Amino acid sequence: MPKPLTQIINEVIKRETVDGEPTDFPNDPGRRTQYGISEKANPEAWADGKVTKEEAENIYRLKYIEGPRFDTLPEGRFQEFLVDYGVLSGPSYAISKLQEILGVKADGILGPITLAALTRRDLNEVRDRMIDNRILGLVRIVQKRPYQLEDLFGWIRRTLEFRCYND
């Protein structure tokens, strides 16, 4: 049964949150973070020194679902994975990786050509190939930035959560 977008957002917040409190890990390039909303990428949300859950929900909806058009994807685990991939790596990057797997021009925009190509493919197969690609990409990040090794296990575990399900 597909999940409503509000539930997908709440699950992202749960994965991104450390006790609901702001974090400020020295190796986090996003600087302070609360509910997964970084100060660097969302300074307006941090203007008063904290991010509310409602602000986080709105940012996820606008920047990570409606903006990249992930709400136009078929509902189910594939959609959930693309939203999560977009949160972790940026929506445009996630879309580009999807486009590479689909064999269409990788421009980072989820348009009609990409959506049409997606209808001709098995979503579970595409998702699993993207999971493999994401894990290899995470390992490459740590190769370039060894100080992020402490994050690698959590990133891979988070990614593999999506492999075990079928739409």
Instruction: Return the pLDDT at 92.
Output: 97
Q: Could you tell me if 100 and 167 lie in one domain?
A: yes
The pLDDT assigned to 56 comes to 94
58 and 84 fall within a common domain: no
> What global pTM score does this model have?
0.89
pLDDT given for residue 33 in this prediction? 87
pLDDT in the model for residue 150: 87
Choose the final residue of a domain: 24, 44, 66.
66
d(C-alpha 167, C-alpha 150), whole Å: 32
Residues 158 and 89 in one domain: yes
Residues 6+ apart with CB under 8 A from 28: 38
Instruction: For residue 60, give the amino acid letter.
Output: Y
Asked if residue 32 lies in contact with residue 21, where contact means CB atoms within 8 angstroms, the answer is no
Residues 162 and 107 in one domain: yes
- Shared-domain flag, residues 57 and 83: no
Q: How many domains does the chain have?
A: 2
23 CB contacts (<8 Å, ≥6 apart)? 32, 33, 34
Domain extent at residue 108: 75-167
Contact 14, 31 (CB under 8 A): no
Q: In this predicted structure, what is the pLDDT of residue 165?
A: 60
- Classify residue 88 by burial, with Cβ atoms within 10 Å: 0-12, 13-18, 19+: buried
CATH number for the domain spanning 109: value is 1.20.141.10
Tokens of 16: 């991104």
DSSP letter assigned to residue 147: G
- Exposed e or buried b for every residue in 44-64, given b needs 16+ CB within 10 A? ebbeeeebeeebbbebbbebb
Residue 26 and residue 90 in one domain: no
Per-block average pLDDT, block size 10, for the chain (167 residues)? 84 82 70 88 92 94 96 92 94 97 97 97 95 96 92 92 72
With a CB cutoff of 8 Å and minimum separation 6, the contacts of 2 are 75, 76, 79
Shared-domain flag, residues 44 and 6: yes
Same domain, 13 and 87: no
Last residue of one domain, picked from the residues 66, 89, 109: 66
Alpha carbons 162 and 74: distance in angstroms, whole number:
15
**Does 16 lie in the same domain as 39?**
yes
Count CA atoms within 13 Å of residue 71 on its CB side. 13
Q: Are 89 and 9 in the same domain?
A: no
Which pLDDT belongs to residue 163?
Answer: 86
Regarding whether 104 and 62 lie in a shared domain, the answer is no
Q: Are residues 97 and 165 in the same domain?
A: yes
